Amino acid sequence: MRMRTTKKIQEEEAKERLTELLDDVERGESIAIIRDGKKFAAIIPVEDDLWMEDPELRRQAVEGFREARKGWKTKKVSLEEILEWRHARK
């Protein structure tokens, strides 16, 4: 799996420029869609999802995720807080 630079684009702009973005992906670029300041979706070339079919690539992807997760800041939250956030978003 080769790594490449990912273009970041706001959700509203992505809706307006979908055809252009798909052309970019066809040329090998990856696109991260941003909502509320955070990446929430991606459009990637088909060859980039081959890791799902190859057990060794899948293992490497999981290990990479676990390594990245070590740097995340965590905070303990209660179930009540989670439910409040969920309801506040609707």
What pTM was estimated for this model as a whole? 0.50
Burial of 14 (0-12, 13-18, 19+ CB in 10 A): buried
Sheet with strand 6-10: strands edge to edge: 6-10, 30-35, 38-43
Instruction: Give how far Cα 86 sits from Cα of 10, 76, 90, Å.
Output: 22, 16, 7
pLDDT tens digits, residue range 42-82?
888 877 667 667 788 778 878 888 888 888 888 888 999 98
